[in-house]
Structure 1
Amino acid sequence: MRSILLVTSSPRGAASHSSRIAGELVRDLQAGAPGSTVTLRDLAADPLPHIGTDFAIGSRAPAADRTAGQAAAVAVSDAAVAELLAADTVVIAAGLINFGVPSTLKAWIDNVARAGLTFRYTEAGPEGLAKGRKVYLVLASGGIYSEGPAAAMDHAVPYLRDTLGFMGMTDVEVIRVEGVAMGPEAEAQGLDRARAQLDGLARAA
């Protein structure tokens, strides 16, 4: 039985390619592990606050010394961290926006990347504390960024791999839905390629 955390971030609602493919992936994972639980964190419908002064100070202060505002900011982060650590499988869906991740997804990263909770510093260097989780990244893009001249402009996948890896999540599979703004035929081909990759993942599992 799996415990799956599905993190979506597209502002496009039902029209979102990343959310659609991520949902299909989650259904495949559930089919392969009956009884699996799924927790949805929809960052477009219910965004986490971008970190501010209350979080920056409160997250480093003893709980008893926090102001009401600091306690509230840390509590939001604590809940997101607990949600992440309760999952053994994480599916993150995002669109490539201005060559990076949506700001809502960046806010989620900022809330869950917590010293002492998801990583720590040791004499040997930083150590991720969220090890052992399988992560799937579903990234939709209007153009082609997996290869070719635009590949260097994809800052989403490298950023997510690096930040997740810093927290100990190094087993990361990337599913791309590419070319969706290049006309109906290219859009259909991008979805077909993504679904073919899902089929391969389901067979491997």
Structure 2
Amino acid sequence: MPTLLVIKASLFGDDGQSSQLANAFTSRWREQYPNGQVLCRDLAADPLPHLTAEAVAGFQAEATERSPTQQASLAMSDTLIAELKQADAVAVALPMYNFTVPSTFKSWMDHVARAGVTFRYTEAGPKGLLETGPLYVFCARGGRYQGTENDTQTRLIEMFFGMLGFAEIHFTYAEGLALGEQAAAEAVGEARERIALLPLSVREGSQ
């Protein structure tokens, strides 16, 4: 039974444009995989704490040496990583805040990037340790940044998820959402049209 993990980072929950695009994709995914399951990690409804030096030390410490706080941080990190490992496809609803990803999503990234667990260091650079399927990213932005030097998100997502082992990444952009009602409606409409054409697949062997 294939599993889709949906990660939502909008401060506005399901009212956010990125969340609505991810929901549209999820509906299409459910039609393709009626026996599949969907896991949702809403980072606005259930925000993660920022990574601390104590938590990092706990990741590296022996089990008997961890403090209760470190044990709790490790358990949370393990849960997030387990969700990724369970997923046969991942969808990320990603708004742009101040030229970058939401801080809640950055906290998620910090808790799943664990050397020796989700990636390892090599002389050629980091190498992913996760068995992954496709990643679908739904970017909602007030201005227009795609293809410009101000699009800091796209390369960050490619680098980060590539480090974990994701080789297939699909981006869908809805831009100019703050440039008037007509521009916003056109951007969302075009994004939904692209969602309808996205190739749907899951991790090999999961069907």
Whole-Å Cα distance in 2 between the matches of residues 124 and 183 of structure 1?
46
Q: CA RMSD in A?
A: 1.5
Q: How many aligned positions are there?
A: 201
Whole-Å Cα distance in 2 between the matches of residues 54 and 110 of structure 1?
14
Q: 170-179 vs 121-130, which deviates more?
A: 121-130
| 2:13–2:42 Cα contact (<8 Å) kept | no
1:191 lines up with 2:183 in the alignment: no
| 2:58–2:70 Cα contact (<8 Å) kept | yes
Whole-Å Cα distance in 2 between the matches of residues 194 and 122 of structure 1?
38
Whole-Å Cα distance in 2 between the matches of residues 14 and 200 of structure 1?
22
Whole-Å Cα distance in 1 between the matches of residues 179 and 123 of structure 2?
50
Match of 2:151 in 1: 154
Compute the displacement of 1:116 (Å): 1.6
Match of 2:120 in 1: 120
3-state SS in 2 of match to 1:145: coil
| 2:55–2:70 Cα contact (<8 Å) kept | yes
Whole-Å Cα distance in 1 between the matches of residues 130 and 179 of structure 2?
38
Compute the displacement of 1:126 (Å): 2.7
Match of 1:79 in 2: 79
Whole-Å Cα distance in 1 between the matches of residues 64 and 92 of structure 2?
34
Q: TM-score, normalised by structure 2?
A: 0.92
Paired residue type of 1:109 = M
Paired residue type of 2:133 = R
Whole-Å Cα distance in 1 between the matches of residues 47 and 125 of structure 2?
32
1:105-126: CA deviation from partner (whole Å, max 9, x where unpaired): 0000000111121101246643
Paired residue type of 1:183 = G
Paired residue type of 1:79 = T
3-state SS in 2 of match to 1:156: helix
3-state SS in 1 of match to 2:39: strand
3-state SS in 2 of match to 1:174: strand
Percent identity between matched residues is 38
What are the residue-to-residue correspondences of 1:9-158 with 2, within 5 Å? 9-122=9-122, 125-147=125-147, 151-158=148-155
Match of 2:166 in 1: 169
Paired residue type of 2:116 = G
Where does the alignment leave 5 or more consecutive residues of structure 1 unmatched? none
Where does the alignment leave 5 or more consecutive residues of structure 2 unmatched? 202-207
| 2:139–2:173 Cα contact (<8 Å) kept | yes
The change in CA–CA distance for 1:122 and 1:158 in structure 2 (over 3 A counts) is closer
Paired residue type of 2:5 = L
Whole-Å Cα distance in 2 between the matches of residues 81 and 14 of structure 1?
23
Compute the displacement of 1:177 (Å): 1.1
Paired residue type of 2:115 = A
1:83-118: CA deviation from partner (whole Å, max 9, x where unpaired): 111101000111111110000000000001111211
Whole-Å Cα distance in 1 between the matches of residues 142 and 90 of structure 2?
24
3-state SS in 2 of match to 1:98: coil
Paired residue type of 1:198 = I
